[in-house]
A and B are shown apart, each in its own frame.
Chain A
């Protein structure tokens, strides 16, 4: 059974510092991995989606890497801003088509960027 872990559970940094968020998964047979942002009491906003054949994806200040063989992904947020304060979730999608379109989520990392 796939398990997804995100460490640390919470992170506080001063504005301007780079953020490094970690995600690990136990079963490397994934189709893709997705990073989401969740503001308090709100739904999920997709940030980056990395296919299993890719090593990284970039969007603006965000960069996500994927090492499928070791079961790890890292989300980098450059030059953090107070507006980056949120919970960041990673989720993996299984490679087996019979598993449908199920996402397995990590517990999230709650980020606070202090002005």
Chain B
């Protein structure tokens, strides 16, 4: 088990629902990341936070809304998703980006199914 945890591990939601994914890291890191892994596409970066500030938004649709209240927690708020948003969502953390690059440590992921 890594020092990065994610909840829930599985989530099924309808297109009109609102839900949130949670990530927590216990490694003392200051940078956190959301990745999306679809069935037929490589892992792709969605968002990056460094010291609670968003530093990267990889053209992600607004139905995905990240939140980073502190360096240990990262959320991904979901609303009015589409079936094609079904994927494995992975969280990662690393030391602060400045002075890096630093190795990223991944959580186990949340398997999301949109019906």
Contact = CB atoms under 8 A, between A and B. Distances in A.
B77 to A, nearest CB: 21
B59 to A, nearest CB: 13
B43 interface: yes
Q: Interface size for chain B: under 10, 10 to 19, 20 to 34, or 35 or more residues?
A: 20 to 34
B103 A42 contact: no
A13 interface: no
B100 interface: yes
B88 A100 contact: no
Contacts of B31: 101
B55 to A, nearest CB: 6
30 contacts: A31-B101, A34-B103, A41-B88, A42-B108, A43-B4, A43-B90, A43-B106, A43-B107, A43-B108, A44-B90, A44-B106, A45-B106, A93-B101, A100-B48, A100-B97, A100-B100, A101-B31, A101-B97, A101-B101, A101-B102, A102-B45, A102-B56, A103-B43, A103-B45, A103-B104, A105-B42, A105-B43, A105-B44, A107-B41, A107-B42
Given A100-B100, A102-B48, 20 more contacts: A4-B42, A31-B101, A32-B101, A36-B106, A41-B88, A41-B111, A42-B109, A43-B4, A43-B6, A46-B105, A49-B103, A89-B43, A93-B101, A97-B100, A100-B97, A101-B48, A101-B97, A101-B102, A105-B42, A105-B43
Interface of B: 2, 4, 6, 31, 41-45, 48, 50, 55-56, 88, 90, 94, 97, 100-109, 111
